[in-house]
């Protein structure tokens, strides 16, 4: 049996730190269908910092929007870059 990427019932508005960062990363995978292998998420309190690489400009915005929509996230700092091949 496979593990679910994201479960809405698992949302808690009081998550911070690593728990919030892990939830944001899973939600980006779930909602934006982005390959997150080059993406890193760090949460400081309720501020989330996205860093690493995505494959195109569209994914930059999609990842940021997905992160901002997670319950408990108050601010998203997007440091993502588009990987050039």
Which pTM value belongs to this model?
Answer: 0.84
**Average pLDDT of every residue of the chain:** 86
Angle between the N-to-C axes of helices 17-32 and 57-68, in degrees from 0 to 180, rounded to the nearest 10: 130
What is the structure's pLDDT at 21?
93
pLDDT score at 14: 81
In angstroms, rounded to a whole number, what is the distance separating the alpha carbons of residues 13 and 33?
A: 23
């Amino acid at each position: 049996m496979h593990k679910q990427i994201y479960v809405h019932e698992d949302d808690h508005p009081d998550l911070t730190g690593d728990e919030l960062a892990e939830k944001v990363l899973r939600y980006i995978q779930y909602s934006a269908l982005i390959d997150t292998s080059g993406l890193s998420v760090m949460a400081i309190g309720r501020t989330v910092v996205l860093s690493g690489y995505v494959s195109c400009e569209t994914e930059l915005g999609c990842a940021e929007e997905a992160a901002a929509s997670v319950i408990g996230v108050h601010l998203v700092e997007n440091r993502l870059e588009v990987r050039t091949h």
